[in-house]
Amino acid sequence: LEVSDNKDISVREKEKLINVKTFLEQETGKDPDYGHLCELAEMNKQKLNVLFEKVFGQSIARYHRTQKMQIGRASCRERVYVL
């Protein structure tokens, strides 16, 4: 997913959202801990959810689920079952 060009979101906020996205990609085995994600983004939960969806085009939960499914598909293709 690419970062969309939202003029109403600051560069700093976009950087924080990218940090959250990277963290989610690294922690696919666990459900997202919104408290920790909010700390990473330095935002409250509502703002984090709204801006993440605005920038990446899907909610945090959906993005995380999509990442897990992609790993599952890759594991099945390679016949390595690590789910």
In degrees, to the nearest 5, what angle opens at C-alpha 25 toward C-alphas 21 and 30? Answer: 110
Mean pLDDT of the chain: 87
pTM above 0.75, yes or no: yes
Residue 53 banded pLDDT, cuts 50, 70, 90? very high
Cβ neighbours of residue 37 under 8 Å, at least 6 residues apart?
Answer: 20, 23, 24, 48, 60
